[in-house]
Amino acid sequence: MPSTESDSLDRLPPGVTAVIAALDFEEADRVRLMELGFIPGSSVSCQRVVPLGDLAIFQVEGTQVALRKDTAARITLQPSSAARNPDADSG
C-alpha cells in the first residue's frame, strides 16, 4: 500500500486519512495552521488535488482547507497512521 509510506501531508493520496505529527514552520505560521485545524494529533484526509495547480483540499477538524503542496510538504504525519477512508472522495 502506498499510503503507509507517506510521511508528509503532500504525499497523502486522496481518500486516505492519517494523523498529524508535527509542523515545520516558524512560530507564527505554525500557530496559524494549528488554528485552522492542522494540530498534531488531528486526523487529516486529502479530499482532492485541485486541477491545474499544486493545491490540494484537506479535511481536518471538520473543515475543508486548501493548502499549496509546498506548505503541505512541511506537515509531517505519524508513521503508519494512514488508513483508507471509505467516505473520502477518491477522484
Partner 1 sequence: MPTAVEPRTETQHSLPAKNRAVAICGPPNVGKSSFFNRLTGLRQKVANYPGITVEKRIGSLRLEDGGQVDLIDLPGIVGMHPRSEDERICVEILRGRSATLPRPAAAILLLDSTNLQAHLRMVPGILGLGLPTLVVLNMADELEARGGSVDTEAVSAQIGVPVVLASAVTGTGMREVVRFLQGSLAPAHKVELPVINNIPGERKWAHSVAAQSSYHAPEPSLWGRRLDRIFLHPVGGPMIFLAVVIAVFQSIFTLAVPIMDAVESAIGVSAGWIGALLPDSMLKGLLLDGVWGGVGSVLVFLPQILILFLFIGVLEDSGYLARAAVIADRSMRAIGLEGRSFIPLLSSYACAIPAVMAARTIENQRDRLATLLVAPLTTCSARLPVYALLIAAFIPERPLLGPFLGTRAAVLLALYAAGFIAACGTAWLLKSMVLRSKPAPFVLQLPAYRWPTIRSLAFRLIDRSKIFLRRAGTVILVTTIVLWFLASVPYQDGEPPPIGESLAGSIGRTIEPLVEPLGLNWKIGIGLITSLAAREVIVGTLGTIYGMEADEGSPALQQALQAELSFGGAIALLMYFAFAMQCMSTVAIVRRETGGWKWPAIQFGYMLALAYSTGFAAYRVFG
- Tell me if 21 contacts partner 1 by CB under 8 A: no
- Tell me if 63 contacts partner 1 by CB under 8 A: yes
- Tell me if 22 contacts partner 1 by CB under 8 A: no
**In 8-37, which positions are buried (b, 16+ CB within 10 angstroms) versus exposed (e)?**
bbbbbbbbbbbbbbebebeeeebeebbeeb
Stated as kind and residue range, the H or E segment containing 18 is strand 16-23
What whole-number distance in Å separates Cα of residue 52 and Cα of residue 58?
17
- The residue length of the chain stands at 91
Query: Which grid cell sits at 52?
Result: 491545474
- Tell me if 91 contacts partner 1 by CB under 8 A: yes
CB of 79 to partner 1, least distance (A): 19
Chosen residue from 5, 50, 80, 84 binding partner 1 by CB under 8 A: 50
- Tell me if 84 contacts partner 1 by CB under 8 A: no
Q: Which residues bind partner 1 (CB under 8 A)?
A: 25, 28-29, 31-37, 39-42, 47-48, 50-55, 57, 61-68, 70-71, 74, 87, 89, 91
